[in-house]
Structure 1
Amino acid sequence: MHPEFKSYLQKLLKAKDCQETEVIQSLWSGYGKISRFQLYGSAYGSVVVKQIRLEKVKTHPRGWNTDISHQRKVKSYKVETNWYKNFNKNCSVDCRTPQFLGSLSQEQKQWIVLEDLDHFFPLRKEYLQLTEVKLCLRWLAHFHATFLNKSPNGLWKIGTYWHLATRPEEFNKMELSPLKDKAKRIDDLLNNCQYQTLVHGDAKVANFCFSQNEKQVAAVDFQYVGGGCGMKDVAYLIGSCLTSEECQKYEKEILNFYFDVLKNLCLNSMSLEEYEKLEQEWRKLHPFAVADFMRFMKGWMPNHKKVNSYTEEKVNEVLKILNPQQ
């Protein structure tokens, strides 16, 4: 353990001693790790620490170890730290996140100290039943309502890890196609929608933690939080936890559920007429959010299981809207 960090952690949490007991996961592309630390003589039995190395790494799971990729990663960790310092406290129990306890930076090393969610949310899942999807959708609706019309100061101006301006390499790798031709138009429509919120930016099932009774969820990993249309999170979540067939079968029910929750929350701060304009705009943008993510996938890993008959149907729907004469 880094001696300065150990001293910082013990002082921060008034612990007599601390010990790294488990590596929960390595960070993407070798930028560090997430670990659990046991604390002795502290009010906190354990905490989770995100340990980040900001120097450029030489390896990448898919060979994207370029300067663009590196700068995106460096910014993402700065964004996440800023999120926890300045925005995270606004999240209610209905869009639960880990409590931010502190952070330390030293040259090319950085540590973010967070509440250990395993005490209350010990379960992780890969695929979800519809009832579990709705728990995550409820979280997203509360999150989007909380940050509706909030400026993403210190975060990504445009949230999500796949947005076009930060992914020129993947875009250039795309084969020529109608989707590639319309990528900028799709991006513009999403970025310039009237009703903006903060999006989680990486709302896959792996970033949701479930309570033991499976009635509550919390979310982690805020590297790509920023401004945008809430449909980006919804579309990405659905694609991460359901099969193509399930997406087709449940899409209407999923969207109706999300907007029912969002409506009840938004009516606390806006008129019904205004909310209906928001819902109308976002519903129309749902297929565009799917198509936008497919633009990234088809440059990054075109044979991925997330590229499927459901997503192709959404892409074709968007292309017909943008090319009505065809």
Structure 2
Amino acid sequence: MTLPPESAAWLQAISGASAIEEAEHVQTLWSGYGQILRVKLKQPTWPDSEPSTSTSLATRVIVKQISPPSSTEQGGAHPRGWNTSQSHRRKLRSYEVESAFYAHHAIHCDAFCRVAKCLAQAELPSGQIIVLEDLDQAGYPIRHRSLNAAGVNQGLRWLAHFHARFLHPQDQAAQWNDLWPIGTYWHLATRPDEFETMPEGALKQAATAIDACLNECQFQTLVHGDAKVANLCFAARHHQPPAMVDFQYVGRGCGMKDVAYFLSSCVSESDCERNESRYLATYFESLRDAMLTHGTEPIEFAAVENSWRKLYPIAWADFVRFLEGWCPGHAKLTGYSQRMTNLALEHVGGEHTPSPND
């Protein structure tokens, strides 16, 4: 795959490069909604970029080219068959959200919750295009499929610092209206099809109550929304904090949603069982330090920890609810995730509440 001619011409013009020397295909976007390329530029100058983002080192950039399938294709070749008009609209919105995050909010992230610098973005006839700094070239070339304890701790610290940067009381939401009103790709309001296919039982009956516990908790932040190990880029320098990519589902929420989902992506069931308390301690210690660093007064750390710790099993149950409808038998539906779900059901009482379609 290569850049469409108009995208290549725009990139060369916006970067001031004398030529595009090569374009390497990195991956196809989920369900065939475009592609990610690593592009090598010859002598770029980035004449119109902000000083904080343009850099003489940006001779290699990551180009995210969003070219959705036509509406007649109903959302592309989804690997699990969820090719619906609703999923199509959700994906289109997700790229609008990612664009808004890089344009207006990524500037608040620092070295402890590193994200790629956005060098340029545009809407072209061939689709939306986002040009990002190549994190490999910036010193974050390492990817993992699973993590040891040190790697898990690094990911949890990234989340803690990210959450501290955007922490706010529940009633202060207007400044993030361009992002998802509820972060994560699995939250209940956007998954009625998967909810309908869930097996009947206590979790389905309690789904709305579980969703409300998370959405109405006293303290909110921006959650990454897809904080899995595959989206972490680790630094070549061993003790340097990692970077995170893929902000399509960033929005308001309880930080525990990111924590539970991250742990589900990178550690085994037995590891979760053995080290749950240690991992949560790492997260909350890092959150406390980050709140002190970023000056989140008048929010008190103890109040946030007290609120969010209780919601850790709730966050697990919320994700389990999605998996039971989306992919019954998924590898993440473990004994540990069931234990968390049982704790959540005890918390909400397990009473029947209206479904999203009632």
Query: Same fold, TM exceeding 0.5?
Result: yes
> Once superposed, what is the RMSD of the aligned Cα atoms?
1.6
Contact 1:24–1:34 under 8 Å retained in 2:
yes
- Who is 1:164 aligned against? 188
Distance 1:74 1:108 in 2: 14
- Who is 1:110 aligned against? 128
Residues 1:102 and 1:271: Cα distance change in structure 2 (over 3 Å): closer
Runs of 4+ in 1 over 3 A off after TM superposition: 55-58, 270-273
- Report the Cα offset of residue 320 of structure 1: 1.7
Which of 216, 219, 229 is the equivalent residue of 2:244? 219
Distance 2:274 2:23 in 1: 43
- Report the Cα offset of residue 6 of structure 1: 1.5
State the identity as a percent: 47
Which AA in structure 2 matches 1:51? Q
- Report the Cα offset of residue 304 of structure 1: 1.0
Contact 1:5–1:104 under 8 Å retained in 2:
no
Contact 1:20–1:38 under 8 Å retained in 2:
yes
- Who is 2:20 aligned against? 18
- Who is 2:68 aligned against? 54
Which AA in structure 2 matches 1:35? L
Which AA in structure 1 matches 2:110? S
Deviations 1:197-228 (A, max 9, x none): 00000000000001123323000000000000
- Report the Cα offset of residue 3 of structure 1: 2.3
Contact 1:20–1:35 under 8 Å retained in 2:
no
- Who is 2:119 aligned against? 101
Question: Across the two proteins, how many residue pairs are aligned to each other?
Answer: 325
Q: TM-score, normalised by structure 1?
A: 0.96
Distance 1:38 1:107 in 2: 23
Which of 272, 280, 283 is the equivalent residue of 2:306? 280
Within a 5 Å distance, the mapping from 1:153-232 to structure 2 comes to 153-215=177-239, 216-232=241-257
Unpaired runs of 5+ in structure 1? none
Q: TM-score, normalised by structure 2?
A: 0.88
- Who is 2:87 aligned against? 69
Question: Is 1:314 matched with 2:340?
Answer: yes
Unpaired runs of 5+ in structure 2? 45-55, 352-358
Which AA in structure 1 matches 2:196? N
Which AA in structure 2 matches 1:250? N
Deviations 1:225-274 (A, max 9, x none): 00000000000000100000001111100001110111122235356982
Which AA in structure 2 matches 1:134? N
Question: Is 1:259 matched with 2:284?
Answer: yes
SS of equivalent to 2:219: coil
- Who is 1:4 aligned against? 6
Contact 1:103–1:111 under 8 Å retained in 2:
yes
- Report the Cα offset of residue 153 of structure 1: 1.9
Distance 1:128 1:115 in 2: 25
